[in-house]
Chain A
Amino acid sequence: MLSKFNRSNQIRQALQSGGFLFLLFFMTSASAVAQAPKGNDEMSRDERGKYIHYEVVEKKALATDSLKQRALGFLALKKLKAIQQDNDEIRATGKFIVNKTALMLAHPSGELLYNFTFEVKEGKYRFWLTDFLFVPYKRDRYGNFVPSTPKGTPLEDSPGKLNAGEWGSYVETADKQSTTFAAEFKDYLSAIQKIKTPGTKKKVISTKSW
């Protein structure tokens, strides 16, 4: 009788553990389905057939040099690399991290490399992000996510039917992150810079008298 009781107890414990495992697996699978893309191909393409985020902005109030300096400041802030200047043009390279999300948990599944170009004329500027390359991440022997290859695959390449869904999500991510990047870039270029007086100290609050 005692052994029967122990056995059923063991079975119940095993089921509880298994149940949790199943729940965890279900949550992960469900999130994978939830993040499945909608076959989105809404991002614009340029004359070469490359995905591109392109904007022209009128900015008559600011001088060319001022816009260029602010653009350089923003690229440095965002840690873009290989920044090159040529007269009224700035070129740089950057990357967006693609995250695979599962409820409140996430891990990076790859990165999108891109080329950024900025051009300024009197009273207006334009910029674009293009030449997107996807680099998948893999988990290395120490459990860290690292690029699985140093050379990315152009986002325009056909991934085949089996991977079309996941690939569509990368295009969608490129579109979303480019739009966010562009909004921040325009804000930065239009922001009124606060003048900081050297030596200004924070006010000390006294609690002794009130």
Chain B
Amino acid sequence: MKLKSFFTFSALTMSAATYAQETTTSTPLQISGSVDTYYKYDFSKKANIGTSFAEDQNSVSLGMIDLALKKTTGKASFVGELSFGPRGQYGSLPNGNGEGANADNSFHIQNLYTSYAFTDKFSMTAGYMGTFIGYEVIAPTGNFNYSTSYLFTNGPFQNAGIKANYVFSPKVALMVGLFDDWNVYKDVNGVSHFGAQLTVSPVEGWTAYLNMLTGRGAGAPGTGSIYDLTTAYQVTEKVKIGLNAADYSVSNDNGGYSGAALYLQNAFTPGFSLGLRGEYFKSKDIPDFDGSSVTSVTVSGNFKAGGLTFIPEVRFDNGNTARFVKNNLDPTKSASQFSLAAVYAF
């Protein structure tokens, strides 16, 4: 029924767009999205590595179909983006209402917000938005590697809230906002988080985002604060370097994590690129329990054929403790996997 309602809404919106095209201040309704599927094989024959997506072992499995709508009328705009499929239904947060068969089954809202540009420099946005924290995103079209980093898995996915953006110059911009708890459609303990993002573009091709988000979630033992640096530099037409470093801590010795991931990519041709991701991730010590760390190296290829991208990938993870398992279920410090994904963007 939800699907049916969604498409009825889409059809109505499309009709509205056709009418709206006749006015000069409107842009046509944009519709876009992606579809992805993958195969993964862990060499221990057990699903081992804690990537958010691509978790099924020795199976041709589905990612999700992602559908996004965007419309701008004058200074106002909206974005609505929904995903369906295992990643949207079971791999993302939030989920069903916890009752019976609907416990962990729902389509997932990736973005649902409205925005108003008061001037060319100042705009405000309210709703549910992809998080401003971190380098990687949920939609596979936004990532070079198919498996995800530990920093992505442990950080926020989305933030509901209201935010103001001001562009001081082409090189500097600032966002400040008030947000709900991480990954929820509504906040039961009030609008509890404050977040900010400073964007700096010192030279052409280099952009850095300094992010922070702090607040106390419902039922949390302390105030959680995350400080994040996300930066990317397109060195040449072919070479790109990216870096993500983050520190998250919950007050009163309630843990957190810290880590960094380096991304190196080279486009050998317009249709083929190769990329390396190296990551170090450590969960923080809490009283009577030492946090563990893991180092991960991922090599991915991107073969493009029109809207389709094939992503063959190998990944090696090594922990300081035996956090993985061998084929016979004995604990081990290392794990490795191969995956092949197909992602189509439209």
Contacts and interface: CB of A to CB of B under 8 A. Distances in A.
B154 interface: no
A205 B232 CA distance: 60
Contacts of A100: 346
Q: Size range of the interface on B?
A: 35 or more
Contacts of A13: 1, 4
Contact of A142 (B28, B129, B271): B129
Interface residues of A, number: 36
Nearest to B110: A143
Contacts of B237: 149, 151-153
Given A32-B346, A139-B139, A163 B270 contact: yes
Interface in B22-64: 28-32
B70 interface: yes
Interface stretch (A56-64, A102-110, A175-183): A102-110
B192 interface: no
Nearest to A108: B30
Given A16-B4, A139-B142, A144-B79, A104 B28 contact: yes
B205 A150 contact: yes
B18 A153 contact: no
Contacts, number: 109
Nearest to A149: B234
Contacts of A167: 270
A106 B30 contact: yes
Given A105-B28, A105-B29, A153-B237, A143 B271 contact: no
Interface in A113-165: 138-145, 149-153, 157-160, 162-163, 165
A153 B68 CA distance: 27
A24 interface: yes
A15 to B, nearest CB: 11
Interface in B122-144: 129-132, 137, 139, 141-142
Interface of B: 1, 3-4, 7, 10, 14, 17-18, 21, 28-32, 65, 68, 70, 79-81, 110-111, 113, 129-132, 137, 139, 141-142, 204-205, 234, 236-237, 240, 269-272, 303-307, 345-346
Given A17-B7, A104-B18, A107-B32, 16 more contacts: A17-B4, A105-B30, A106-B28, A107-B31, A141-B130, A141-B132, A142-B111, A145-B32, A151-B205, A153-B237, A159-B270, A160-B270, A160-B272, A162-B305, A163-B306, A167-B270
Interface of A: 13, 16-17, 20-21, 24, 28, 32, 100, 102, 104-107, 138-145, 149-153, 157-160, 162-163, 165-167
